[in-house]
Amino acid sequence: MARKERKAGEVTAEFRAEMVRLTVESGKPITVMAKELGIDHRKLWTWVDKARLKTIDPDGQMPAEARRRIRALEQQNARLARDLAFEKKAGAFFRELDRDENDSL
């Protein structure tokens, strides 16, 4: 899926939208997707950020403080989801470790 580095003048709205869609759907970090797609990670981050803002406030009528609050809550939600995933993996690891120790007795 690697693509050649593109110059700013060559980027169309359709290209940006497709790169944002691929990034969001993949669930991978922006830096990883940027490398896979052959795009500067800062540019891809800007595109994804603008797309997220558009979904939050399509008409641009929401006060800046409300947008900041929504973004902060989204970041907190992502952090909690990562923590929960880690907790589940750690729990499974320790259950497996306990099971192995009990079986060896």
Rounded Cα distance between 20 and 18, Å, is: 5
27 pLDDT tier (thresholds 50, 70, 90)? confident
What residue spans define the domains of the chain?
1-56, 61-105
Mean pLDDT of the chain: 86
The string of pLDDT tens digits covering residues 61-92 is 889 899 889 889 989 999 999 999 999 999 99
The contacts of residue 6 (CB under 8 Å, 6+ apart) are 15, 38, 39
List the structure tokens of 58: 């399509």
Q: What is the pLDDT of residue 8?
A: 55
For residues 36 and 1, the answer to whether their CB atoms sit within 8 Å is yes
Residue 46 has pLDDT above 70, yes or no: yes
Q: Which of 39-43, 47-51, 56-60, 87-91 has the lowest mean pLDDT?
A: 56-60
105 pLDDT tier (thresholds 50, 70, 90)? low
The contacts of residue 57 (CB under 8 Å, 6+ apart) are 67
Q: Which of 3-12, 13-22, 60-69, 71-80 has the lowest mean pLDDT?
A: 3-12
